[in-house]
Structure 1
Amino acid sequence: MAKLRELAPELADVARSELNEDAASRDAIIVAFRTWINEQNYLEARTDDQFLVAFLRFCLWDLEEAKKRIVFFYNYKSKERGLLKSRSVDDKLLELARSGIFATLPNPIGPGGPRIHYTRMGHIETSKHSVTDIFRFHAFRSEIEINTDDNWNIAGVVEIIDFTKIPYSLLLQFDPSLFKRMNAFLEHGIPTNLVATHIVNASRETQFVLTIIRNVMKQKELLHIHPNVESLQKAIGKEYLPVELGGDNGSLNDAMSRYEAQFNSFASYFIDDERFGVDEKLRAANEKEQQRNAQLVSGVTGEEGSFRKLNFD
């Protein structure tokens, strides 16, 4: 039997109704996923039940999709050393944890609802924190959430971003290619869904720019722009906001303390993480071998594509 955290009844209902989770087949799919990973000589990955189920849940228990996502996840971490730097919990990460920029609020939006992240852009000191530092923090926090937060994995996440006193020098660090590289990990690697992004306290000029951005987005409904806190309270529910915004959902100072404790408790996890990844040379060799096998099968049977039906991956 798979070793998984017990879900709150409301969250278990979401897993069944929206993610296709079936208790009767769950364990067998997890075993099949682990077996496939162990058979790939180019892939070194974590294979404990709780880690694997995060990818399966995100992929609606489609095993083939989960395989693709976990390969991307580890391939990205192997290739993007420049963005992720070392995988150890260092002083820079702990400094960001204590900075007050980020908060994960203690209560999700209802027992079966999404987790809430809160970001205060005005707390970013560009003399200390670069865009890549902030991305790295997000990547480390996400991996902790893979292992600890079922609401985040099953119901998704709501991002609240406070634009009060956003440093203009931070905006100057963004460029399209960098954004594309960072967004790839969030979109194709991390196993959670972004439910909504709420922007609050943006200047008129920033609101104008954000409105233009929303108009060209594929999923316009994900971006909400609020001129003030009162508008945000109506959209989210006052009780789900931190006390600093007139809510009842914990304080931002407490969130800082929780982050530092979490990062320190996962220090050995991230040191161990250095050994996981994708060997692209072995992967390329495997793909060539598969193509040769496909050609042989096609030549014998006269049926092109029968290699895919044999599922040798």
Structure 2
Amino acid sequence: MIRADDPFDTYLLRVLCTLIAEQSVSRTAIRLNQSQPAISAALKRLREIFGDPLLNREKNVMVPTERAVQLARSAQAALVALDKLLVDEEAFDPATTEQNFTVAMPDYLAPTFFAHVVKAFRASAPRARLVTQALGPQYDYEQALAEGTVDIVIGNWPSPPEHLHLSVLLEDEVVCVLADDNPLAKAGKMTAEAYLQAPHIVPMPYSRGQRGVVETGLGTLRLHRDRKVSCPYFSLAPNLIPGTDLILTTARHFANYYAASLPLAIVGSPISFPFMRFYQLWHPSRHRSASHVWLRGLLTDASEELRRLRDMPRQA
């Protein structure tokens, strides 16, 4: 995400690194919360500066040049160095701190993610206190971040607030979870028509004014699914599927976690949904706080567990 308070003009460097990583103007725009024309203009400027095309289109994909890969490595190293310069050198030692840290999050992440967070937190900061805050339609997380009552908010909304800082924890594909004896699961493949006609279980929204990736994707395509069952928690939904004809549409890592212990099958979505992007959000006022940088790093390290779950051997 682009920082409005960045004292150095690092915008082009950040665009360069993200473009090379994503190899897509549209995905770069999403990741940096910028418009596609803005990213296209930045790419044009970068090409002029370095005298190199940087990205070439080959068979409908953007491929970075050798020069671009080298530049991105140097740019990333420079950005890391600059970020370190901007971190407050306040007296913070996780081993002795008695601070309270509060993380607001829904339960759509596999439980092992936060288990890793708690384990690392207790090992590194035994005298500190970690508080989790549930998100819900009536909870104003933006105000909580501004007031400092919450340190981090974990979300996966398609359009996070632009005034907040963001770092991505995981990008995950959308899949369908069914009972393993569901005829649609036995077929191993589902048509869009079958998906839309089937009964669905849908967790309740956890944020006001924000629709999730699935609802946003369906709305864009002007499609509607048959919402037969609603439940208050994401983690409850998989347990309600066995023995029914219900479909849960969710992230791959979440599906893999529950399919490992319940009689469930995972089928690729017949609807082309965007990837789910799970990220942590924080207020600009806390960006350079040493204790906050430490907490964000803890969450980032724990996100490796989400990637492990996502990359488990896949079913259909």
Give me the TM-score of the superposition, normalised by structure 2. 0.23
**Larger strand fraction of residues:** 2
**Larger helix fraction of residues:** 1
Give me the TM-score of the superposition, normalised by structure 1. 0.23
